[in-house]
Amino acid sequence: MSGKSAGKWRQNLADLLELPREIVLNLPRLTVIGNLQCYLENHRGVIEYSSEIIRLSVNGGELIISGSDLIIRYLGSEEIAIDGTINTVRYEF
Amino acid sequence: MSIPKIRYAVTGYLEISVTGRATEKFINLAMQEGIPLWNIRHGPEYAVLNADVDSFFDLRHLAKRSGCRLRIKRRAGLAFLISRLIRRRGLVIGLLFFVTTLYTLSSFVLFVSVEGNERIDSEHIRRLAADAGARPGVPKWRLNKDELAHQLILAEPELAWVGVQMRGTRMVIEVKEKIKPPVALERPGHLVAAKDGLVYRVMVISGVARVAPGDTVSKGQLLIEGALRPQAQQDGTAIPQAVAVRARGEVWAQVWYEGYGEAALVETERIPTGRHVSVWTLLIDGQPVLRVGRQQIPYIDYERSAVRSALFRGILPFPVELLTESSYEIERRKQRLAPEQARKLAAERARFLAESQLPAGVAVLSVTVTDQDPGREGFVGVRHVLETRENIAKDEDSGGD
């Protein structure tokens, strides 16, 4: 309950100061270029990956990217870049 | 952020296969340690990933913790290439030796060839060049080509021009010999008639004239004989043999050129009406492939023209051509000419035929135009005669004038 209200408070602060929400709320920022490339900042790790599906842990849930010929082009501690043919991008919170 | 791939291409990177149940765990561990990984793809049994060389030992440590096994599949990058080359020193040395030898050998003149000489012996020119310092085995950088060409011209007065050029290791001396002005033919010979004519003046420089003014001569007839016949000696000694000389002189004659032309009183003219149809055919490798246009020609009388143009020349390996066949409609129109008009037309044709025979630079003295019965009904004939005066003497052994 308190976590939720803290989140509300942060969001209000972000609105008030016009700060980027992903920084204030520590949320992932996802950039999808066509269906070819997907670039995620602020992730928490890889849960599962194969050439059809990649599940990534993000703050508060997970992000599921499915498609074909998926490869992780780059994996860093904060960001991850995925190449391949992307069909769906789905959040599960 | 993309990883600096060019940097790793220089410093070298590894392609590692990871076997185990929890490859995700391994990857997350590496991520947390801040080891950059890229091109992670999932194979049927194992994952393949690229990592730089320095972090491989850390990765092995992580693999042990996550229960995975690592195997290096491929070493790539410049650093590995260099170390491989250092291991195969012999190959590198051989390669360097080969290049150096090739370079060294190609910087010497190995052959000297002479081109363009007809009378002068090639060996002679080669000797002269060797005296000037250009012999096989001389390094190219010591040769001064212009200087050599100069020296050759000075050494051999028969040469008009010398060019020296290098074609690889071959030095080509291109020469041009002096052309001597044609000397007058001194061999004995006669003068004969170049064409038919009526002789009106004979001028003999040497030889004996065989024609006199007023004679009609035909082509090839002997005009001036190339022989000197001494007069019979007064003292009764034997007449010496005729001495053969070169006949010289001029024989001027009246020469006629004639042309005959006819014209019909009813002339048929073929006049294009301006209407035409075209058929386009695409030819590939000479084979018709596609034909567009009207196949049947709707005209009674027509003229055809075909134009072939090559398409995509130099792009496609086989010839592709567009054949354009056009048929132009022709209308025949009969034109009735007045006798005066027909005569004018015939005279024009005759004049053309006569003048086309006229040699260049010959003045026409007189022109005679006469009507001639063509011997056919409905036609008019005209004869056009040009009279000139020319020197018709020519050497019997010379080809032309």
What's the gap in Å between the CA of A38 and the closest CA on chain B? 12
| Band of residue A31 on the pLDDT scale cut at 50, 70, 90 | very high
SS3 content of chain B, % helix, strand, coil (to 5): 25, 45, 30
Contacts of A49 in chain B (CB under 8 A): 24, 27, 40, 42, 47
Contacts of A84 in chain B (CB under 8 A): none
| Contact at CB, A50 and B42, closer than 8 angstroms | yes
DSSP H or E stretch at residue B264: strand B248-264
Domains detected in chain A:
27-92 (2.60.40.2000)
Structure-block tokens of residue B253? 């004659």
For chain B positions 21-50, those within 8 Å of chain A (CB to CB) are 24, 27-28, 30-32, 34, 36-42, 47, 49
Of the candidates B61, B62, B77, B67, the residue with the CA atom closest to the CA atom of residue B15? B77
Structure-block tokens of residue B358? 């006229």
- The CA-atom distances, in angstroms, between B285 and each of B84, B289, B307, B312 are 51, 10, 16, 12
pLDDT single digits (tens) B336-365: 878 888 888 888 888 888 888 888 778 888
> By percentage, how much of chain B surpasses pLDDT 70?
93
Q: Three-class SS of residue A23?
A: helix
| Band of residue A37 on the pLDDT scale cut at 50, 70, 90 | very high
Structure-block tokens of residue B154? 């000075």
Contacts of A65 in chain B (CB under 8 A): none
Domains detected in chain B:
5-82 (3.30.70.260), 111-177 (3.10.20.310), 266-336 (no CATH)
Strand B69-76 to strand B111-115: parallel, antiparallel, or no bridges (unpaired)? Answer: unpaired
Buried b (16+ CB within 10 A) or exposed e, B147-184: ebbebbeebbeebeebebeeeeeebebebeeeeeeeee
What's the gap in Å between the CA of B84 and the closest CA on chain A? 28
DSSP B122: H
CB contact set of B148 (below 8 Å; sequence gap of 6+): B129, B132, B133, B134, B162, B164
Name the pTM for this structure: 0.40
Q: Evaluate whether B52 touches A74 at the Cβ level (below 8 Å).
A: no
pLDDT single digits (tens) B261-303: 888 888 777 888 888 888 888 888 878 888 888 778 788 888 8
Facing residue for B27 by CB, picked from A46, A50, A81:
A46
| Contact at CB, B1 and A76, closer than 8 angstroms | yes
Dihedral sign computed on CA atoms, order B18, B22, B23, B29: negative
Beta bridge partners of A62: A57, A92
Structure-block tokens of residue A32? 């999808």
For chain B positions 310-369, those within 8 Å of chain A (CB to CB) are none
CB contact set of B316 (below 8 Å; sequence gap of 6+): none
